[in-house]
Chains A and B, each alone.
Chain A
Amino acid sequence: MAETKSEVFGNFSILGKAIPRVDARAKVTGEAKYAADYEFADMLWGQIKRSPYPHARILNIDTSKAERLPGVKAVTTGKDFGGFKWGWSGPTRDEEPLAVEKVRYLYEGVAAVAAVDEDTANEACDLIEVEYEPLPGVFDVLEAMKPGAPLVHENRPGNICVEYHWNFGDVDKAFAESYLVREDTFQTPRMAKGYLEPPAVVSYWPDSNHVVYIGAKGSPYFPYRLLSRCFNLPLSNVRIITPIIGSDFGGTKNDMTPADYSAVMLAKKTGRPVKIVTSQYDVLTTDLRRHPMWLTVKTGVTKDGILKATYLKAVADGGAYTRMSPLTMMLTGCLTTLPYKLPNYKYDCYNYFTNNPSSAAMRGHGLYHSRFAADVQLDMIAEELGLDPVEIRMKNAIENPEPGKVYTAVNDVHVATCGVQECIEKVAEAVNWKARKGKKKVEGSKAYGMGFAAATYNSGTKLSAHNACAAIIRVCEDGSVNYLTGATDVGQGSDTIMCAIAAEVLGIGLEDIDLKRVDTAFTPVDPGSYGSRVTVLAGQAARNAALDVKQQLLEVAAQQFGVKPEDVEIKNKQVFVKSNPTRNMSWERLVRTACYDTPGKVIIGRGYSTQGISLLGLADFSKGVGDIGTNYSFTAEANEVEVDTETGVVKCTDNSVIAHDCGFPLNTQAVESQVQGGAYHQGIAAAIYEEFKMDSGQTLNANLIDYKRPRAYEAPMTQVIHVLTNDPYGPFGAKEASEGSCCSAPPAIVNAIYNATGVWIKDLPTQPEKVFWALKAKKEEKKGRKKK
């Protein structure tokens, strides 16, 4: 197994090394409270009544029998919500909390019940009688795009959910001038997000004008805004409390579910707390999935393998509702121009509604699809030209801009720092790439091969006008500190980073800071935990808030020492005059002096992020130009696979290296564990194992036995190499960690399978049967050739 040694970067007290997680103790001792752990006196259990049809008109819902069942306290249907619809943005509000006129996917919620216990709630759901008129449905994009196909939404002709058509430079001219032009079609599957904590919610109304919602949400200010509009309450009266979150990976735990709205409505109706815990089965049959996508890539190169142009056509199954599809299609297209120099680029995409559960964001959102297609095709091109995969990547990789300069891609994406070349070099060196070249390793039926890939990801993602993160720091009179954040740790370790940044700036210890998780009654508003934005933007807020506090305290210290504030420094909880450190006092003494010296101060610092909005404006989705990210991470990855050539089973060996340019690793341990667990592991999962199999809207493998999720046996540890570029737009130089490296694993695996066996698997995941038939076809082709 590859050992990653604990490295130290920069000259900091806390940052730049392995920082223990502030939530580790609570989590391992079981003290950590997740949404489902919340209990209240008089609490009721809620349950959702779900549709047995993937597409049907609702003719009537009779709840009378359920209401008469002893123990049932309230029943709600979609009509109670008074026509409220919601969506990812204003123009895409196409979903109701509970379906009113039509259900559009199997098990969509149509009613909900609150009862004294879970059993009674379940029984009451069985007693709700719903009359449906089943409708013909569309279950894949080929059906959805056919003229005259049944419409998922009557007001959306052609079942088109999203389409973009972008064109930069002159691709036709570039193709005409290219030495080699290749066109290949790739396919990516429907995937589960993979959180082991199913969504759970408890809601109550302290009075008729205030609502409290405690739920497993990675972006708690989504429900804050949505519940305000749904229940016609001012934002000031909507209180979202964020418990510990058992991971997210995009999608469901950002967005709302029928259970979220229903719990709030049932709590309102009964005047009692209502809890709904979604089952794993409901998660695996109804929750948001990664978009299945078909990607046709046409690429032209010079004789030397220099990229001239790419035309990407992406077709996606968006499922029943729009959800985040506009963003998915944007992200799938907009960063094809990184991490390689690409002078001409065209993108057409079509996202169709179907009667499948909705698709939405998932780690590596968007880029995962296009980078897979483009980086596998790059290996195909390299082979045709007789170039080495590392060589062709180095030739095309964007160079790290000189400090103060910016690389501008053809679609106006701006990159201030780019470590992709260094990543490629370091990985090639670590796996001894040159020495492997031309050496075939075969042992019996096992063939071994290694594949290479590089990738990028946007960090500090900027979506709408409101991008700022904020923090409030309260210094208590004994020197302890409260950190109030709007950001949510969904397992990525952001709570630790926020505390570490604040402690670093203030010159105190990590243990001196107590972080308050989001409670919208007290914490500042925040866009949410998505798009690898938290460390970059909430991190800047942490820094600014801490600087504000520090300034206030330095002024007090300066008075005490009879110097100017800028002459004083705080380090390791010692406050001292820079020019004469023997003149000092303890942090506690300084805080006490500040708070108690008449008339006494109240030390509160505040800060918010500015970089997300001030740099170069927002990206334009319709044109595909501009910066979706505040800055961009880069990755290179090499994976070795073992292919059983008789069965088609592909396995990773422990020979794998990922170099990741996250700008500056604030917490080396968090970066490494994310790259291992949240990138390598999930990347392997996407490449080799995971896929929802569907039949007419029904998920056939809605359990964790038949839906294959790799464990440590299947995806051993990868070696992680840090590449530092110190980005000017991230706090202390930081960029995102590990979404980029989530995108490099699938192409690296597919390239490795080719290296081992000589077959290209263009359709993920590389499940045994696919590989088997491909190998068989190749064998027969060879035989055929010999005969001739």
Chain B
Amino acid sequence: MIADFEYFAPKTVKEALSLLSQYKEAKIIAGGQSLLVVLKQRLFSPEYLIDIKGISALDYINYEEGKGLRIGALTPHRTIEKSPVIQKYFPVLSEMENNIATIQTRNWGTIGGNICHGDPAGDPAPVFIALKAKLKLASLGGERVIDMQEFSKDYLEVALDPGEMLSEIQIPKPAPHTGTAHDKLMVMKGDMGIIGAAVSIVLDSKGKCEDARIVLSNAASVPLRAGKAEKKLIGKVLNDALLAEAGELASAEADPPADVHGSAEYRREMVKVFVRRAAAKALERARAA
């Protein structure tokens, strides 16, 4: 079972940050839905565990017309899924959350914990990247804001400096005529996607694709932006054939793992399908917006 560790449960961000600066080797635990699995398997045995789940100040969802959406790092998945504001302005987030694990896991697991775990199979990171999200990172020295896309470094590795923690996810208000969608290959509802795709499409006033973001999960060691596939779409009036071509390009860009759920070859095939499916839904939404 889990190896012994020293446990801290700060109640404020400040307290958490001073503990982090004091114990450089400490690991943060939020909802623990990913971390506990790793600890139980003894893949990782931290000496100090700082449990930030009790910092209620980081559990919030705010939306302002000008600023966009702000989600506190310790907001549970289930809160995001059920938030009327999110369902109204960012339905893709609610849909994505609905397919994460089980209700029990979503009730306890936090959005920040998910992002900081750095699992390339996770769903939130690709969707946030598609939504051009930024992350606010706090340390005793102050705060900095970075693009979500810069956050993932490698498999289970993120760009948190020692003494630093994630405090907020910031999502800008999307441009007019933006549609975003997420889809993933599940054998059973709630599965980690064998392959997942988040696609965001912005149309200009004439209906041409002005901007596109295509982000894959479980297709590389980090959430993968399929740049060539995006370029294929930008500047064109989109149709099914173009979306399928984008899928083909994304598939060539992917470097997916092989595991008990599927070979790398199968995953590459599935990138084609899910990019096309998510893009089609995103396009439909962009046209309706």
Contact = CB atoms under 8 A, between A and B. Distances in A.
A714 B273 CA distance: 22
Interface in A665-694: 689, 693
Contacts of B269: 772, 776
A689 B263 CA distance: 17
B261 interface: yes
Contacts of B261: 706, 767, 769
Interface in B224-269: 259-263, 266, 269
A434 interface: no
| Interface residues on chain B, size class | 10 to 19
A768 interface: yes
Contact of A713 (B189, B192, B266): B189
Nearest to A706: B260
A647 B193 CA distance: 12
A701 interface: yes
Nearest to A693: B260
A170 interface: no
Contact of B194 (A703, A705, A768, A773): A768
B278 to A, nearest CB: 13
A768 B260 contact: no
A769 B262 contact: yes
A693 B262 CA distance: 12
B188 A711 contact: yes
B122 to A, nearest CB: 14
B5 to A, nearest CB: 13
B185 A647 contact: yes
A354 interface: no
Contacts of B260: 693, 700-701, 706
Interface in B24-58: 37
Contact of B270 (A647, A710, A776): A647
A25 B262 CA distance: 44
B187 interface: yes
Contacts of A776: 269
Interface in A597-612: none
B187 A708 contact: yes
B1 interface: yes
Contact of A646 (B1, B186, B192, B273): B273
B187 A122 contact: no
Q: Which one of A646, A767, A772 has the greatest number of beta carbons of chain B within 10 Å?
A: A646
Contacts of B186: 649
A459 B194 CA distance: 42
Contacts of B262: 768-769
Question: Which of B185, B186, B187, B189 is the most central at the interface, judged by chain A CB atoms within 10 Å of its CB?
Answer: B187
Contacts of B263: 769
Contacts of A773: 266
Nearest to B102: A711
Interface string B171-200: 000000000000001111100101000000
Contacts of A693: 260
A708 B261 CA distance: 10
Nearest to A123: B4
Nearest to B261: A706
**What is the interface of chain B mostly: helix, strand, loop, or mixed?**
loop
Given A649-B187, A701-B260, A769 B1 contact: no
Interface string A747-787: 00000000000000000000111001100100000000000
B188 A714 contact: yes
Nearest to B266: A769
A645 to B, nearest CB: 10
A772 B185 CA distance: 13
Contact of A689 (B188, B192, B194, B266): B188
A713 B185 contact: no
A179 to B, nearest CB: 40
Main secondary structure of the interface of A (DSSP, over half): loop
Contacts of B192: 705
Interface in A273-307: 279
Interface string A707-724: 010110110000000000
Interface in A412-451: none
B187 A767 contact: yes
Nearest to A279: B1
Interface string A535-547: 0000000000000
Contacts of A706: 260-261
A768 B185 contact: yes
A245 B119 CA distance: 38
Given A768-B194, A769-B263, A769-B266, A647 B273 contact: yes
Contacts of A705: 192
A714 B187 CA distance: 9
A192 to B, nearest CB: 14
A389 B262 CA distance: 33
A715 to B, nearest CB: 10
B38 to A, nearest CB: 12
Q: Select the residue from B188, B266, B269 with max chain A CB neighbours within 10 A.
A: B188
Nearest to A694: B260
B188 A713 contact: yes
A714 B186 CA distance: 11
Interface in A621-667: 646-647, 649
A649 B273 CA distance: 13
Interface in B99-152: none
B273 A768 contact: no
B188 A710 contact: yes
Nearest to B187: A708
A150 B261 CA distance: 31
A217 B138 CA distance: 54
A779 to B, nearest CB: 12
Given A647-B270, A701-B260, A706-B261, A768 B187 contact: yes
A700 B259 CA distance: 9
A705 B273 CA distance: 24
Nearest to A713: B189
B189 A689 contact: no
A701 B259 CA distance: 10
Report which residue of B185, B192, B263 has the largest number of chain A beta carbons within 10 angstroms of its beta carbon.
B185
Nearest to A648: B266
Interface string B270-285: 1001000000000000
A772 B192 CA distance: 19
Contacts of B259: 700
A647 B188 CA distance: 13
Contacts of A769: 261-263, 266
A211 B194 CA distance: 51
A256 to B, nearest CB: 24
A767 to B, nearest CB: 7
B267 to A, nearest CB: 9
Nearest to A765: B187
A283 to B, nearest CB: 14
Interface in A468-501: none
Contact of A649 (B1, B37, B185): B185
B261 to A, nearest CB: 7
Interface of A: 122, 279, 646-647, 649, 689, 693, 700-701, 703, 705-706, 708, 710-711, 713-714, 767-769, 772-773, 776
12 contacts: A646-B273, A647-B185, A647-B270, A649-B185, A693-B260, A701-B260, A705-B192, A706-B260, A706-B261, A713-B189, A768-B187, A769-B266
Interface of B: 1, 37, 185-189, 192, 194, 259-263, 266, 269-270, 273
Given A689-B188, A700-B259, A768-B185, 13 more contacts: A279-B1, A646-B273, A647-B185, A693-B260, A700-B260, A701-B260, A705-B192, A706-B261, A714-B189, A767-B187, A768-B187, A769-B261, A769-B266
Q: Top 5 closest A-B pairs, CB basis?
A: A693-B260, A769-B266, A701-B260, A646-B273, A769-B262
